[in-house]
Amino acid sequence: MKDMPFDVKKRFWKGIFRTVKDKIEFEGIGMHTGEEARVIIHPDESGEIRFLKNGVYIKADVDNVVDVFRGTSLHSEGERIDTVEHLMAVLFAAGINSAVIEFVRGEEFPIFDGSARVMAEAIDNVGIEEFIAEKVEGEGYFLTPLSVEDESKRVKATYVPSPGFEVSFLLDYRGTPIGIQTFKFNLTWQNFKRDIAPARTFGFEKELGFLKKKGLIKGASLDNAILVKEDGIVVKDSLRWENEFVRHKILDFLGDISLAGVKLDGKWLLERSGHKYNVALAKKVKWLAKRCVRRMNFEEIKELLPHRYPFLLVDRVLDFEEGKKIVTLKNVTGNEAFFTGHFPHRAVMPGVLIVEALAQSAGVLVLKSFNLKNITPFFAAIDKVRFKKPVKPGDTLIMEVELLMKKARICKVKGTAYVNAEVVTEGEFTFSLLADEFKKLQVCN
């Protein structure tokens, strides 16, 4: 198969999907169960990656993740499948976003030699075909960074919007033969097959007893894993690269992040990350993807709202559902006028301005939904407002407003503001729709 650089808009926004041309069958033992498994990948035109076990479909979705300890497991309707990350990484890198993966026997995907090379070669052998589906997933890029952090373990996993798809990983096992390793990887199919797919899984000798007591690694051997001892590395044949360990971590990451259900242009900056944090970041990606569907730019917003600099606090509309909800974005920069006088020693966006930004978002929702002209929304009531986290320069506010009630001259909404997919402010707001310059009030029908 020829190299396929990412064209996210083509594949996801216009509804072009990719599946395998013919079925692919795999057999082998599971790393943790030690049981033989037989798995078949079937061509499919549903527009989704789905696993099939005992008649139950399990969507490859981050919301179905049930376990992230030494592998990623999915669960639905009482059925569970384990260690899906290597296969999901291969499908993700190949741009395959529609397939049925049937577990004929076993519940854990085969480990093979501990890498993804066998699966990548199998996909090349059968080939890929594209088809048109009605389903539309989104535009494939965001305007805001996302991150997951665990300061106690010095873990950080970050997404930064940027052209291309680049993964940078810092692996830190100082005090062991692995040491500190880094690798930067630009994702294309050819790069993946050459630089990532052959990287094998690994484990530490000092953890073997602990893992066996937990009922894991029943299928582990030097045929499918690299063993790291205190005084050296035990490996069948030889290491494929000196930094094979960090490359394998990127393989795991690609499989985990694929469960967000979208491909994104951007840079992924990973420090000491693992399945737990990869999946947490994937959940944030999915959260934001749901809110980035139909857009409105700054000039279109100015046509609806009377506000102007420095008091227009909505930069872009990410999603709009007529008469129901709106999702907007505000980039909070250090150049905002209010930072010069509001806690200049510790820049924090005033809470009342976050409320105002939510209210302006509500104004766009109502004015556009009901095609109101010469109308200005004015606050009538503010209820149940909670400020949960400060908003600082460099943050990106994502605001979600839902219309709760509308009458002739009154509308009530619920608004929630997020930074990094975490709630910073929420509340309910009522406002009156007043005619400009005493013109006749236009009524919400």
264-321 per-position pLDDT tens digit: 889 999 999 999 999 999 999 998 887 776 678 899 999 999 999 999 999 999 888 8
Active-site choice (32, 275, 307, 345): 275
Active-site choice (42, 75, 307, 342): 342
Ranges of each domain in the chain: 8-289, 298-438
135-151 per-position pLDDT tens digit: 544 444 566 789 999 99
Q: Is 75 one of the catalytic residues?
A: no
Q: Is-contact 280 148, C-beta < 8 A?
A: yes
Name the average pLDDT for the chain.
90
Residue 9 has pLDDT above 60, yes or no: no
Q: Is 248 one of the catalytic residues?
A: no
Q: How confident is the model at residue 11 (pLDDT cuts 50, 70, 90)?
A: very low
Cα 143–Cα 12–Cα 164 angle in degrees, nearest 5: 50
Q: What is the pTM of this model?
A: 0.80
Q: Counting Cβ atoms within 10 Å, is residue 56 exposed (0-12), middle (13-18) or buried (19+)? A: middle
Residues 392-396, mean pLDDT to the nearest whole number: 93
What is residue 116's DSSP assignment? Answer: S
Give the 3-state secondary structure of residue 70. coil
Residue 15 has pLDDT above 80, yes or no: no
The domain 298-438: what is its CATH number? Answer: 3.10.129.10
* Residue type at 33 in one-letter notation: T
Q: Counting Cβ atoms within 10 Å, is residue 241 exposed (0-12), middle (13-18) or buried (19+)? A: middle
* Residue type at 262 in one-letter notation: V
Percent of the chain with pLDDT over 70: 92
Give the 3-state secondary structure of residue 139. coil
pLDDT of residue 249: 98
CB within 8 A of 344, min separation 6: which ones? none
Q: Return the minimum-mean-pLDDT range out of 127-136, 281-290, 366-375.
A: 127-136
Cα 101–Cα 246–Cα 84 angle in degrees, nearest 5: 15
Question: H or E element: which one contains 424?
Answer: strand 422-435
Q: How confident is the model at residue 22 (pLDDT cuts 50, 70, 90)?
A: very high
Pick left, alpha or beta for residue 175 (phi over 0 → left; psi -120 to 50 → alpha; otherwise beta).
Answer: left
pLDDT of residue 14: 43
In whole angstroms, what is the distance from residue 355 CA to residue 382 CA?
Answer: 9
Residue recorded with tokens 């899906």:
84
Assign domain 8-289 to a CATH class: alpha beta
Strand-pair category, 79-81 with 73-76: antiparallel
pLDDT of residue 398: 94
* Residue type at 258 in one-letter notation: S
Residue 344 has pLDDT above 90, yes or no: no
